[in-house]
Chain A
């Protein structure tokens, strides 16, 4: 069907798609551009090229603190969420579970409940139990919110791993636990890493729930940016935006590359 991609209609679609790509990227590119602006104000016209806002960023205690909080929170969220998600995915893919569809729906329910509602429910319930706004509440919230995504990612990849390999290991005398750690886990490692990365990124980016759950004085990177926006948009925010763009785009790309390497090595 060589003609399909050369017809007039196709050119129209391609042109339209290019406009959509520009729409998606333009604001982001402007953030990066303005972060190198020498001017005091985070806006046009540009007065020169400078790294000064990145240096100020590096010296900003509040932002560094928020950054540490976000990283620790993201890592813990990823660890817990991935563990729960991998176990659940194994059950759903490897066993015949009665009511599997129902269970899947229950497991992705946190995506379908508006985050604001989830945030209110969790905040009020834990407060009722005597858990005040705290890092723990923040962590619970992030785990419950990222879990469905981990399960979806891991499940999709797990389906592609053939059962035979595990059965072969067991028939050679490996116990189920040995089989899991020596056969299944290495095979599903790319999916586990992808799930963990997904959880980390979502946690790192979350602001809706975080504003409800965070204790006073604790800021994550998004809530810190949000607080800074109340004054005006400073070049420092653009610099922070640039750092985050490099991080959030760079990390998944790096993760994908590692996952591809690992799956190549394992020969699947």
Chain B
């Protein structure tokens, strides 16, 4: 075989195990649940193979599912917004700090390595009836009896922000770190105030990082079901909880398939819009 032909073939040999794995374990299963979502769950509990629209009709028209979907998207949006508001200045601080940037970044990334379930549950220690905050407030005498602060929508958002903030900080940091600082100086020397040069130079240049961080926070936030289970109340279920309920608890696999594809479609549209305007390369920068 010629050297050229080998050069052409070799990368495909190297890529084939990973591509095969992703095709077999992700893409084909996704196509498979598309088919499955048209099957019918019968009263006996068996699935009837065929082309039925019942699951989709139920998933798309039942107000129960629609409300929870909207609730999920709302929670993800608020979480993303809070992550941006908290994460951007923190990332800016790290990127423009004269101190040891890697250490500052690592410090903020450390909680990212700490187990998700531990981080989620740790808020019970803070906000619980005999948690740190209530104990403190009782001690200084602001309140006379412990307040119930847990198990509502706010604590679900709090837990999600705590979980997702590092994704935002990392993406914004990568973006800010790549901006030449002398650009700001140039703006300043041309008469812009520091605030103006930030708004007109630095912020626009860092928007791709903000968008990448936002996309990750939103997608991961909207797909979660552990946080509402641990920190939410009985009415704080998110869409992924419905999927879990249908698949694991009720074993209604056709309906569960339709519901998970619905979630995938909603978030997929978002990813596609993102990809259309910013491209996946930006996302990979911030993830690596």
Contact = CB atoms under 8 A, between A and B. Distances in A.
Interface of A: 1, 4-5, 7, 9-10, 13-14, 16-17, 20-21, 23-28, 30-31, 34, 41-45, 83-85, 87-88, 90-92, 94-95, 97, 101, 103-118, 120-126, 128, 140-141, 143-144, 147-149, 151-153, 155-156, 201, 204-205, 207-208, 211-212, 221-222, 225-226, 229, 233, 237-238, 240-241, 244-245, 248-249, 252
B63 interface: no
A156 B131 CA distance: 43
Given A16-B90, A226-B230, A248-B114, 13 more contacts: A7-B194, A20-B90, A24-B166, A103-B19, A108-B287, A114-B264, A121-B30, A125-B28, A125-B33, A143-B21, A222-B115, A229-B121, A245-B118
User: Considering the complex of A and B, which 10 residue pairs feature the smallest CB-CB distances, nearest first?
Assistant: A114-B223, A27-B122, A121-B29, A125-B29, A91-B14, A95-B11, A17-B93, A91-B11, A43-B130, A88-B18
A105 B158 CA distance: 31
Contacts of B230: 226, 229
Interface of B, helix, strand, loop or mixed by DSSP = helix
Contact of B18 (A10, A87, A116): A87
B130 A107 contact: no
B224 A208 contact: yes
Interface of B: 7, 10-12, 14-15, 17-19, 21-22, 25-30, 32-33, 36, 86-87, 89-90, 92-94, 96-98, 107-108, 110-111, 113-119, 121-126, 128, 130-132, 134-135, 162, 165-166, 181, 185, 194-195, 219-220, 222-226, 230, 240, 243-244, 247-248, 253, 256-257, 260-261, 263-264, 267, 271, 275, 280-281, 283-284, 287-288
A177 B121 CA distance: 49
Counting chain A CB atoms within 10 Å of each CB, the highest count among B33, B89, B114 belongs to B114
A147 B243 contact: no
A23 B123 CA distance: 11
Given A30-B122, A124-B29, A226 B226 contact: yes
Contacts of A94: 11
A233 B124 contact: yes
